[in-house]
Amino acid sequence: MSATNDLIDGLLDALHNKDSHVRSSICYVLGNIGERAATSEVIDGLLNAVHDTDSYVRRSACDALAKMGEKAATDHVINALLNAIYDKDSDVRCNAWEAIVKMQGKGATNVSTVGLLDALQDKDSGVRLRACQILGNMGTKAATKEVIGGLQHAFLDEYSCVKSYACEAVGKMGEKAATNDVIICLLNALQDKESFVRRSACNALGNMDVKAQTSDVIICLLKTLGDEDVFVRSDACEALVKIDGKVVTNELINGLMNALRDEQPFVRSGACKTLAKIGAKATSNTLIESLLNAIQDEDLSVRCCAIEAIGNMG
């Protein structure tokens, strides 16, 4: 332990080296040591390095703080990193957000939405992406009118990854974010050229609870059951699973029956799960026949879900 302490003391002294390459490398080494180096002196030294005149040092300091674990996930450190989001260097801004994301995972909760709203407008796509991710991690606590409006704007971002994280963010905010405008944005995202954006939109709609249980949403999700991407089809099924049975239409039943014939077993099982949740409201001879066929499916999960669906139809 003494040798480690001596090493850390030496590294702290080197943070004041006149050569910026040395200072940047020291931050990198401290980050690699991680939680073992997370003394108050080291954290203070790295916080000072966040304000270094050299952008590479500032980037490395943010990275190192991200690796310090719970001891660095304090309001004091978060506030310093929030100041770094206004750095003139886009990589520093991005690394600062990356550090905040990791600290949220370690229990940090006191993150201001003011800086995040600014970050949603940042010229660097990586910063905008991280802002969406952090707002999603904050969940319902961040679901203010201003934040939801900012995320709606992010749905129109030129970068697909930003759009995807914006969908995920409103999904994690659940019913609080389920305004008519947000739902319209998510329905538009179901038509996005990128499959991962369409998947995020499906998942978000599934988390919107009762406010998303409209015929328009159901119809769009049903159309998505025919998506060219199997994972999108599966996520559309999962979204429909979360329907509590208030909106049961012929289109819904027919769409689910088509999904029972999908080439992928997890899409077929998802259709069965949805039908199981709808229960008696979906009963028809044609549907029962389709579910009886599903009991003979080669996939165990499909067979089990089909049996459950038939049982719930009473």
pLDDT beyond 80 at 214: no
Q: Pinpoint the residues of the chain covered by CATH 1.25.10.10.
A: 1-100, 112-212, 213-314
pLDDT beyond 70 at 39: yes
Judging by beta carbons within 10 Å of its beta carbon (0-12, 13-18, 19+), is residue 131 exposed, middle or buried?
Answer: buried
- pLDDT for position 201: 97
- pLDDT for position 54: 95
In single-letter form, the type of residue at position 133 comes to Q
Topology of the domain comprising 1-100: Leucine-rich Repeat Variant (1.25.10)
Angle of CA points 283, 284, 285, to nearest 5°: 135
The pLDDT of 105-118, averaged and rounded, is 68
Residue 93 Ramachandran class (φ > 0 left, ψ -120 to 50 alpha, else beta): alpha
Q: At what angle do helices 55-66 and 20-33 cross, to 10 degrees?
A: 10
When pLDDT is cut at 50, 70 and 90, the band that residue 119 belongs to is: confident
- pLDDT for position 245: 57
Q: Output 78 or 28, whichever has higher pLDDT.
A: 28
- CATH 1.25.10.10 for domain 213-314: yes
| Separation between Cα atoms, residue 75 and residue 41, nearest integer Å | 16
The 3 state secondary structure assigned to 7-44 is HHHHHHHHCCCCCHHHHHHHHHHHHHHHHHHCCHHHHH
Per the CB < 8 A criterion, the answer to whether 201 and 189 are in contact is: yes
| Separation between Cα atoms, residue 287 and residue 310, nearest integer Å | 9
pLDDT beyond 70 at 102: yes
Mean pLDDT of the chain: 87
The pLDDT of 162-169, averaged and rounded, is 97
* % of the chain at pLDDT higher than 90: 41
- The total of other beta-carbon atoms located within 10 Å of residue 194's CB is 15
| Separation between Cα atoms, residue 162 and residue 139, nearest integer Å | 17
Residue in 149, 153, 146, 110 with CA at minimum distance from that of residue 128: 153
Q: Output 101 or 151, whichever has higher pLDDT.
A: 151
- Residue 229 CB partners (closer than 8 Å, separation 6+): 195, 198, 199
- pLDDT for position 34: 85
pTM for the predicted model, two decimal places: 0.71
Q: Give the single-character DSSP code of 67.
A: T
- pLDDT for position 132: 93
* % of the chain at pLDDT higher than 70: 93
The pLDDT of 92-104, averaged and rounded, is 83
Q: Output 231 or 116, whichever has higher pLDDT.
A: 231
| Separation between Cα atoms, residue 16 and residue 46, nearest integer Å | 11
Residue in 180, 164, 181, 160 with CA at minimum distance from that of residue 172: 164
For the domain 112-212, what is the CATH superfamily, name and number? Leucine-rich Repeat Variant (1.25.10.10)
